[in-house]
């Protein structure tokens, strides 16, 4: 049986590409074209759209020809996986196995984690969400951020990563890992100072570590920032959480996990 070469592409960090186990040495614009087509998730992109995505308002003198040259170099670099880059009537598309793209593997693990969480299986949810986050090697599209198409895609992917971190935190809190989370949550609230869900998780983690005063100080710190920067109070759920901590409401205590 003939071996079918598989192109592996990583966009959750600096761009990585390999055919089977062999890393590809790609020039910057070849990496950019590969990444843009991979992010299209199997859909064809027209030459005009690709020119705009790769060069924006400063295209080369003959952009369509320049695009053709880049595609030709990329196809040559792909070697045994060259068939993955398809030329279609309007432009190009990539036929890449979904399992070989880290962003798609991330989405699948997140979906599985959310399903587990919805079923009350917090251990499985935490495990799958942790596996999804382990696919990240740094900020998305880190070495292409100045290419016109990259900023919006990177912002979307990085936002999804932060949301998944919050969901994993919820699952870990449900599993009783509050002591393990405190340090990470303290760092995350510094990195994302107006992200109220992270502050709520920090308050809960500190409270469950018998640090009621520190939990309340977190609320006071967040409230001060929100008032100073946005002129608003913390959201109602955070206000209710503060009140529950003050009265030591048992609802905040770790609840036994159901089988």
- Residue ending a domain, among 33, 63, 98, is 98
Average pLDDT over residues 62-76: 94
Q: What is the pLDDT of residue 257?
A: 45
CATH number of the domain residue 205 falls in: 1.25.40.10
Residues 150, 28 contacting (CB under 8 angstroms): no
Q: Which helix (H) or strand (E) holds 189?
A: helix 178-191
Report the alpha-carbon distance of residue 96 to residue 85 in Å, rounded.
9
Residue 256 has pLDDT above 70, yes or no: no
Cα 19 → chain centroid: 24
Query: Residue 24 domain-assigned?
Result: yes
Query: Residue 234 domain-assigned?
Result: yes
Query: Residue 195 domain-assigned?
Result: yes
Residue 176: both structure tokens together? 């009783």
Query: Residue 72 domain-assigned?
Result: yes
Provide the 8-state DSSP code for 101: B
Residue 116 has pLDDT above 90, yes or no: yes
- Residue ending a domain, among 67, 98, 129, is 98
Q: What is the pLDDT of residue 259?
A: 33
Query: Residue 169 domain-assigned?
Result: no
- Residue ending a domain, among 49, 75, 98, is 98
Residue 34 has pLDDT above 90, yes or no: yes
Query: Residue 225 domain-assigned?
Result: yes
CATH number of the domain residue 13 falls in: 1.10.10.10
Query: Residue 110 domain-assigned?
Result: no
Residue 245 has pLDDT above 80, yes or no: yes
Predicted TM-score (pTM) of this structure: 0.90
Q: What is the pLDDT of residue 8?
A: 87
101 CB contacts (<8 Å, ≥6 apart)? 8, 9, 10, 11, 38
Task: Using pLDDT thresholds of 50, 70 and 90, give the confidence band for residue 114.
Answer: very high
Average pLDDT over residues 182-191: 97
Query: Residue 247 domain-assigned?
Result: yes
The candidate with the shortest Cα–Cα distance to 16, out of 144, 132, 155, is 144
* Residue numbers of the domain that contains 192: 177-259
How many domains does the structure of the chain reveal? Answer: 2
């Amino acid at each position: 049986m003939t071996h079918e070469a598989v192109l592996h592409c990583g966009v959750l960090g600096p761009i990585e590409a390999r055919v089977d186990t062999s890393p590809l040495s790609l020039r910057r614009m070849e990496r950019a074209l590969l990444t843009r087509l991979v992010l299209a998730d199997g859909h064809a992109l027209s030459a005009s759209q690709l020119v705009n995505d790769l060069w924006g308002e400063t295209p080369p003198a003959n952009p369509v020809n320049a695009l053709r040259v880049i595609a030709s170099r990329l196809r040559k670099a792909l070697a045994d996986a060259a068939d993955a880059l398809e030329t279609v009537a309007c432009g190009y598309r990539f036929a890449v196995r979904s399992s070989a793209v880290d962003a798609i593997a991330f989405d699948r693990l997140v979906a599985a984690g959310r399903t587990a969480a919805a079923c009350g299986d917090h251990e499985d949810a935490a495990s799958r969400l942790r596996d999804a986050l382990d696919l990240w090697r740094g900020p998305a599209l880190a070495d292409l951020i100045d290419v016109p198409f990259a900023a919006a895609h990177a912002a979307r992917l990085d936002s999804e990563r932060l949301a998944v971190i919050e969901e994993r935190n919820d699952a870990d809190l449900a599993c009783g890992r509050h002591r393990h989370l405190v340090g990470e949550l303290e760092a995350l609230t510094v990195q994302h100072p107006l992200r109220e869900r992270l502050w709520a998780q920090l308050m809960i983690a500190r409270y469950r570590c018998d640090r009621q005063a520190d939990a309340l100080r977190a609320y006071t710190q967040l409230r001060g920032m929100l008032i100073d920067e946005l002129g608003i109070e913390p959201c109602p759920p955070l206000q209710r959480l503060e009140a529950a901590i003050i009265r030591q409401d048992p609802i905040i205590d770790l609840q036994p996990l159901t089988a």
